[in-house]
Amino acid sequence: MNSEHRSELLMPAGNLRKLKMAILYGADAVYLGTPDMSLRTKSQFSLEDVIEGVEFCHQHGKRAYLTLNLFSHNKDIAKLEEYVQTVRKVNPDGLIIADPGVFQFVKSRAPELPLHISTQANICSWLSVNFWREQGAELCVLAREVSYPELAEIREKCPDIKLEAFVHGAMCMTYSGRCLLSNFMAERGANQGNCANSCRWNYKLKMRLKDGTVEELEINEDNMDMFEFLLEEGCRPGEFMPIEEDGRGSYIMNSRDLCIMPKLDDYLRIGVDSLKVEGRGKSEYYCAIVARAYRMAIDDYYADPENWDPKPYMAELEAVGSRGYTLAFHEGRLTNLAHGYEHTATIAQWEYAGVVTEVTPDAFLVEVKNKLEAGDVVEFISPIARHTILLRMYDFERADNGDKATVVHGGTKTVIRIPFSAFDHEDIDDLTRWFPEYSVLRKERALTDEQWKRIKFDKYTQGAEIKGAANDDAYAKRRDALVESIEAGGNEKRFKTNRVGTDGCCGKGCNGCMMFWQDDLYAKAREEVLTRKQGELLSRAEATAMKGT
């Protein structure tokens, strides 16, 4: 690999603000498109937004790729001429295409546009890569089914074309998105950008009686050992495949989310040109935090590849909701550890608190994204500096009228004012430089016992997959703990750390915590916190040991 070669971080952009956040938080490039031709019918980009977004990228020295990766039906062809002529004026850095007919159409009418081959084209071999190179493609996005050994061989045999590989995001249970299940179940075309995610639905077993009535077959402790359900494939008579289900239903096709971070150094070592994150439908918080984590990881690898360690960046990715993480096809085949049988919802112990909408001479104006309550610790995540700043808040001042409240609800687009005077030991110039417009804030999320156990179970399965070996007893122990919690139910939620300090120091040492900074009880802890970088936490053991000493 050329020593000057650097892999680009490619982030999704579902709307203009997500695009700007992705760029500010470290993306080298973004991909975007209008709803009608880009496999994302819920895309929030107008043509004017696309133009502004591409210009924003170029002003920051970054790249923008437009998507035209639908498989065309006859009705789509009439739109192509106008689309191509419009796209030419935008001056994108590449156009992502899957359909060979669309490829030829664009190549003949806009030969100046660099053409990228979408993952929808299902490229899994160096032979296919060379085919597209000879057709004039500049880059090929490889299918998610390509293993790392295959990727390394493709890189070796195809040195004269750029390669792009997925490193993070949702996984499709079919072959790189070529799915008809959504069409069948919901009449929504996955390959036209309108997937209903039928694979992630909760399925339950039913039986139809001879009189035509349909009953639910309840499986419980009393009858579960009386029978089992089997499939017999026509060409294999006598070979029975068991189907397992309990009273909670089954998520039989529900994949965990892809996360290559633990093996990212493999991709950087062989020189994969573009590292792609999935998620044009994900939140702006997702765009910011995932971009930040991979930006730090990539930069640190190039600075010191021998000592690169994924753990700090994985900790950052755990602040983003996921279905649990998997390496997917990295080793060549999926295992049961890549599937989530117990749930389909994304979960994290952190959540989006707000976004800086304006920086005034004396305060941040922040649009609230999730409920804030007195005692919440908000964490300011800088798109510029690596360290974060923690601030415990006891009330919230509305920016429009100055009224103060102890609770602010998300979803109301309420803007609060956070004065710089609330920060005890930061320089104002540093604050305004580190946290420009579009900086995000996060906070801890209260979770149920079931959710906490899901997080523990997901972390175990990820670790077992990385090691390449699972301890059956440990797996069963964590799985059974989760199942018991699901069956117990209960909606009581708890935070990981203390809320307002009345039960003792939470160990965060954050600005604005009056008990921590004023009470003699925490004198020694204060001395220790001041020796550490901003935002570095005391461990629970340290906080306990220092209390009152």
Same domain, 395 and 282: no
- Same domain as 361, residue 305: no
- The first and second tokens of residue 121, run together, are 């084209």
294 and 355 belong to one structural domain: no
Q: Which residue has the higher pLDDT, 190 or 347?
A: 347
Enter the DSSP assignment of 347. Answer: B
Give the residue among 404, 397, 407 at the shortest CA–CA distance from 375. 407
449 in a structural domain: no
Same-domain status, 95 and 138? yes
Q: Look at residue 27 and tell me if it is in a domain.
A: yes
Say yes or no: 86 and 17 in one domain: yes
The residues with which 116 forms a beta bridge, in sequence order, are 96, 139
pLDDT single digits (tens) 51-81: 899 999 999 999 999 999 888 889 889 989 9
Indicate if 275 and 147 belong to the same structural domain: yes
Residue range(s) defining the domain that contains residue 265? 8-170+259-317
pLDDT-derived band at 197, boundaries 50, 70, 90:
low
The pLDDT confidence band at residue 247, using thresholds 50, 70 and 90, is very low
Q: What is the pLDDT of residues 131-149, one digit of tens each?
A: 999 999 999 999 998 999 9
Of 185-194, 311-320, 481-490, give the range with the top mean pLDDT.
311-320
DSSP 142: B
The answer to whether residue 474 is domain-embedded is: no
pLDDT at 360 over 60: yes
Query: What is the CATH number for 383?
Result: 2.40.30.10
Euclidean distance between the first and the last CA atom of the chain, given in angstroms as a whole number: 56
Q: Is residue 306 part of a domain?
A: yes
Q: In this model, does residue 421 exceed pLDDT 60?
A: yes
Handedness of CA 51, 53, 58, 60 (dihedral sign): positive
In this structure, are 37 and 90 located in the same domain?
Answer: yes
How far, in Å, are 363, 390, 409 from residue 415 at the CA level? 12, 19, 11
Q: Does the pLDDT of residue 388 top 60, yes or no?
A: yes
pLDDT band per the 50, 70, 90 thresholds, residue 190: low
Instruction: Specify the DSSP class assigned to residue 115.
Output: E
User: Picking from 29-43, 240-254, 488-502, which range would have the lowest pLDDT averaged per residue?
Assistant: 240-254
Residue 340: pLDDT band by 50, 70, 90 thresholds?
Answer: confident
State the pLDDT confidence band at 192, using cuts at 50, 70 and 90: low
- Residue 370: inside a domain: yes
The mean pLDDT of 352-364, rounded to a whole number, is 97
Q: Which of 22-36, 128-142, 495-509, 526-540 has the lowest average pLDDT? A: 495-509
φ/ψ region of 109 (left if φ > 0, alpha if ψ in -120 to 50, else beta) reads alpha
**Mean pLDDT, range 210-238, rounded to an integer:** 66
pLDDT of residue 174: 62
Position 5 scores a pLDDT of: 83
Residues forming a β-bridge with 393 = none
Q: Please state, for a pLDDT cut of 90, what percent of the chain lies above it.
A: 46
pLDDT at 411: 84
pLDDT at site 253: 64
The number of distinct structural domains making up the chain is 3
The pLDDT assigned to 76 comes to 87
Structure confidence at residue 248 (pLDDT)? 45
In a domain, 434, yes or no: yes
Return the percentage of the chain with pLDDT > 70, whole number: 76
Residues 523, 438 share a domain: no
Q: Do residues 364 and 396 lie in contact, with contact meaning Cβ atoms separated by under 8 Å?
A: no
* Residues 161 and 270 placed together within one structural domain of the fold: yes
Do the domain assignments include residue 1? no
State the DSSP string of 163-203. EEEEEEE---SSSTT---HHHHHHS--GGGT----GGGSPB
Half-sphere exposure of 527 (CA within 13 A, CB side): 8
- Are 300 and 396 members of one domain? no
Q: Does 536 fall in a domain? A: yes
Q: Which residue has the higher pLDDT, 31 or 496?
A: 31
Q: CA angle, 44 as apex, 39 and 49 as ends, to 5°? A: 110
The average confidence (pLDDT) of the chain is 84
Model pLDDT for residues 470-524, shown as the tens digit of each residue: 788 888 888 888 878 887 888 888 887 665 544 455 555 566 565 666 777 778 8
Which residue, chain included where needed, has tokens 């079931």? 450
| Whole-number pLDDT of residue 278 | 93
425 and 514 share one domain: no
Give Cα 186 distance to the centre of its chain.
26
Residue indicated by tokens 């602010």: 408
pLDDT at 185 over 70: no
Average pLDDT over residues 326-330: 89
Q: Of 63-72, 88-97, 152-161, which has the strongest mean pLDDT?
A: 152-161
pLDDT of residue 502: 42
Q: Rounded mean pLDDT of 259-273?
A: 96
- Tell me how far CA of residue 115 lies from CA of 19, 89, 158, 307, in angstroms: 21, 16, 17, 37
Tell me the CATH number at 308. Answer: 3.20.20.70
Query: Has residue 114 got a pLDDT over 90?
Result: yes
**Res 92 pLDDT > 80:** yes
pLDDT at 511: 62
pLDDT in the model for residue 471: 82
Is the pLDDT at 204 greater than 70, yes or no?
A: no
Asked if residue 371 and residue 429 are part of one domain, the reply reads: yes
